[in-house]
Structure 1
Amino acid sequence: MPSALDLRLHDYRLEFGAFALMLLLLIPGLGEWLEFNRQAIDQGQIWRLFSGHFVHLSLTHVLGNAAGLAFLGFIIRHDLSEKLLVWLFAWCALGVGGGLYWFAPDLQRYVGLSGVLHGMLLVVPFLMPLYRGWPAWLLLLVIVGKVLWEQTPFYNDQALMDVIGGRVETRAHLFGVIAGGIWLMAMALFGKLPRN
């Protein structure tokens, strides 16, 4: 019979798997085959719209996104089906990758998971019994407010340059929020959004 520790670790296997993959892709040269690279995507390497989210600029960049994964895992615990979680991840990943490709034509390269995390953190609290209601709406307001602030001249996208190894691509956060918002609206439209 599995111990309590085994069950807790089992509950977070998707988060641990994503974290392990992000660490693996820090190996020099490996991430170059998977990063969002506009020229390579134009040549047919469309997997980069998805795979670029697992590539990072530095260990600090990975750890920052791992903190976001841990927060997401804390909210989810074992109360959300893995199938739904994988579909939501894929939707947000393709929403961010596609958004950057079609609506940010100046962007040549992008790596990181933060855009996807913004979208997922917008949706997941509305699905969890403990967070439905005002906590979910509060988190939504915080995330949307942060992303809107990032789109203004008052936000310095290079403030973390020395910490993570590059500038923050705030448009990825915006497209993540848009993808998450579309997911929520679709759930509400089809009556699939749980109520209090």
Structure 2
Amino acid sequence: MNSLHLPLKKHQIGPVLLMLVMCVIFFAVQEYVIAWFDYSRAGVNKGEIWRFFSAHLLHTNGNHLLLNGAGLLLLWALHGDYYNAPRIAVVFFSSALIIALGIHLFTPELSRYVGLSGVLHSLFVWGALQDIQHKRKSGYLLLVGVAIKIIAEQIQGPDQRLGDWIDAIVAIDAHLYGALAGIIGFLITQLFMRRETVKRR
């Protein structure tokens, strides 16, 4: 029987722990800072561009934080072998920007947004593409699964029960933009890896 393998090297778990700690810190002081750090359409229109990135580290309530924290740990357990600080930084910042821009440009009915779920969809797709690159057939199954989920959300609309639990309407468009951002993040990290390979030759 194979023992459970978890990616416990510092470069694998470090970026995940940093993201979790930042989410917890933001949640602890959220009532004082949310007005300045959530995605606010009005704020962005005034030039407050930092909201494109900080909004993803905020959460509507404890349930929302626990759900996304558990999701992040699950993705780490699934794909953490591919994680390191530069890769996760690329995926986080590129997906945060793409998701927020997507909301700002293509989802005008959404005036405010917080939460890590869009970024988690990016990490999921990025990890599935890494699986495929490493010739793991599970990557194809994961991509099909997330595609079905996103299509179902777009057709059926937000999950009301989940919305009640997190005290917010589920931002399904953020999941769509996040999945697309995961593809872009994968391409960016591949470009960086190729450049590093060339430098070493």
TM-score by length of structure 2 reads 0.81
2 CA distance for matches of 1:120 and 1:29?
29
Question: If each structure's helix is expressed as a fraction of its own residues, which one has the higher value?
Answer: 2
2 CA distance for matches of 1:158 and 1:116?
21
**Amino acid across the alignment from 1:39:** A
Partner of 2:21: 20
Contact map agreement 1:96 1:176 (CA 8 A) in 2: yes
Partner of 1:182: 184
**Amino acid across the alignment from 2:115:** G
2 CA distance for matches of 1:143 and 1:47?
29
Contact map agreement 1:23 1:59 (CA 8 A) in 2: no
Partner of 1:157: 159
3-state secondary structure, aligned to 2:98: helix
Summarize the alignment of residues 57-72 of structure 1 with structure 2, pairs less than 5 Å apart. 57-72=60-75
Partner of 2:8: 8
Distance 1:9 1:59, change over 3 A: farther
**Amino acid across the alignment from 1:172:** A
Contact map agreement 1:60 1:163 (CA 8 A) in 2: yes
Shift of 1:187: 7.3
Partner of 2:41: 38
Mark the runs of 5 or more structure 2 residues left unpaired by the alignment: 1-6, 195-201
Partner of 2:169: 167
Q: CA RMSD in A?
A: 2.6
1 CA distance for matches of 2:63 and 2:90?
27
3-state secondary structure, aligned to 1:167: coil
**Amino acid across the alignment from 2:8:** R
1 CA distance for matches of 2:152 and 2:179?
13
2 CA distance for matches of 1:181 and 1:78?
18
Of 21-30 and 102-111, deviating more is: 21-30
2 CA distance for matches of 1:136 and 1:116?
18
Contact map agreement 2:82 2:127 (CA 8 A) in 1: no
Contact map agreement 1:125 1:132 (CA 8 A) in 2: no
- Residue 99 of structure 2 is aligned to residue 96 of structure 1: yes
1 CA distance for matches of 2:164 and 2:97?
28
Contact map agreement 2:15 2:88 (CA 8 A) in 1: no
2 CA distance for matches of 1:184 and 1:123?
5
Mark the runs of 5 or more structure 1 residues left unpaired by the alignment: 1-6
Contact map agreement 2:60 2:168 (CA 8 A) in 1: yes
Shift of 1:184: 4.5
TM-score by length of structure 1 reads 0.83
- Residue 61 of structure 2 is aligned to residue 53 of structure 1: no
- Residue 83 of structure 2 is aligned to residue 80 of structure 1: yes
Shift of 1:80: 3.1
Contact map agreement 2:72 2:120 (CA 8 A) in 1: yes
Contact map agreement 2:15 2:84 (CA 8 A) in 1: no
Of 125-134 and 102-111, deviating more is: 125-134
2 CA distance for matches of 1:176 and 1:17?
20
